Each structure stands twice: as structure tokens, then as C-alpha cells.
A and B are shown apart, each in its own frame.
Chain A
Amino acid sequence: ETAVFQTPNYHVTQVGNEVSFNCKQTLGHDTMYWYKQDSKKLLKIMFSYNNKQLIVNETVPRRFSPQSSDKAHLNLRIKSVEPEDSAVYLCASSSWGVDTQYFGPGTRLLVL
């Protein structure tokens, strides 16, 4: 099956903890993205990678750091989470820069 996979589906943690989210795509794409979707469904790009290289790095707090081991994987680590980090984090991939993006189902983060 070719798609974008994200783990975990759901994560509950407390303020100050560190969390990591995984994303893998089996579509053979070169470009991957992380988006944050808030409770009002607003979607904001956080990072994009092309062939393991960081291309887009929007203004996000330094506690967020993407990690790419190869072009099929793009993980997201959050050091010392805060309540405003509660959101759905969506991973996506595309074959090239601004082509059709294929999204994973998202990781829902709740920070208590």
C-alpha cells in the first residue's frame, strides 16, 4: 500500500515533556511537509524538506525540530511542550515542490 503513515494517532502529555511524531511515505516522493492544524481547522505549514534538506522553515518556536533520515521519513520532535502546542499535526508529501500533496491522517496532541 502506498500512502503517508503517521504514528502515533493520538498523544496526551503534560507541560514540559518531550514528544516525537513519526511520518513515513511510501509514494516515492522527494518532498515532505509538517503542518499544524488548530481547533478551528486552520492549517499552517511548519517545515518542508526536499531530499532530506530543509527548504521551508516557518516561524515556529525553537522547541520544534524536524528530523529526516531519508527522503521517505520526516519526524517532528517537540522539546518541552506547552499548552498551545495542542493541535493536530499533519504530515504530507509531494513528488515535487508544489505538486499535489498527499496527507497522512494526523497525530492529535493534547497537552495538559
Chain B
Amino acid sequence: AQSVTQPDARVTVSEGASLQLRCKYSYSGTPYLFWYVQYPRQGLQLLLKYYSGDPVVQGVNGFEAEFIKSNSSFHLRKASVHWSDSAVYFCAVSGTGGYKVVFGSGTRLLVSP
């Protein structure tokens, strides 16, 4: 069975600073990996996903993530955050051929002015 660990429940960064949100997954096969964002009182929205190929994937709004198989990690990065990036970010993993996606516990990002 797959699982996801997001070790940081809350992260605070200053506007304009760089950002890394950590994600480690556990899955014995080839994983499909996702990052979603949830703004207040809304559903989740996809930021980016990795299925195969280039381990660095680009997403919306300047986000990117790098799949490091040897470390079972899929950390999310952004070079310069904006106050509007304040939200809850979820990492998720699924296996090929399945219908079940497992989400991490989320990281609440607060961007301070």
C-alpha cells in the first residue's frame, strides 16, 4: 500500500523568498505523484504531476517539483513566493492501474509581507 509523509505541518516564509515543501512517499512500484493546493473554502486544485520522464516537472504559477527515486521524495519548490500562495498544499501518490490516490496530511503555507 502507498503512503505519503509531509513532515512540516506549517511553513512560514516572507514574500519574495524561495520555498520548499517536503514530501516523501512509500510505494513499492512505479508511483504517480501529485501536488495539489487548497485555498480556503475551496476544493483541491492540481499544481503539477509526475508520471515518468524528466524528474523535474513544471506546474502552474511558477511551482516545480523534483522526483528523486533514490530518496523517495517529491519536494515542491518555488523561487519567489507571493502572498497569494498562502494555502494548504497536499502531496499525493498513487500506483499505476489503480483508482486510489493517497494524500499526505498537508502543509499550511503562510506568506508574510
Task: Give residues in A with beta carbon < 8 Å to B.
Answer: 4, 31, 40-43, 45, 48, 50, 55-56, 90, 92, 97-98, 100-106
- Looking at chain B's contact residues, is the secondary structure mostly helix, strand, loop, or mixed? strand
A106 near B43 (CB under 8 angstroms)? yes
Can you pick out 6 interface pairs between chain A and chain B where the beta carbons lie within 8 Å of each other?
A31-B99, A56-B99, A98-B96, A98-B97, A103-B45, A106-B43
Q: How far is the CA of A98 from the CA of B100 in the complex (A)?
A: 7
Q: Would A42 and B105 be within 8 Å (CB), given that A92-B43, A98-B32, A104-B43 are in contact?
A: yes
List CB contacts (< 8 Å) of B5-50 with chain A: 32, 34, 36, 38, 41-46, 49
A48 near B99 (CB under 8 angstroms)? yes
Q: How big is chain B's contact interface, by range?
A: 20 to 34
User: Residue on A with the closest CB to B38?
Assistant: A41
Smallest CB–CB gap between B10 and chain A, Å? 11
In the complex, whether B88 has a CB less than 8 A from a CB of chain A is yes
Q: How far is the CA of A31 from the CA of B100 in the complex (A)?
A: 11
Smallest CB–CB gap between B59 and chain A, Å? 11
In the complex, whether B98 has a CB less than 8 A from a CB of chain A is yes
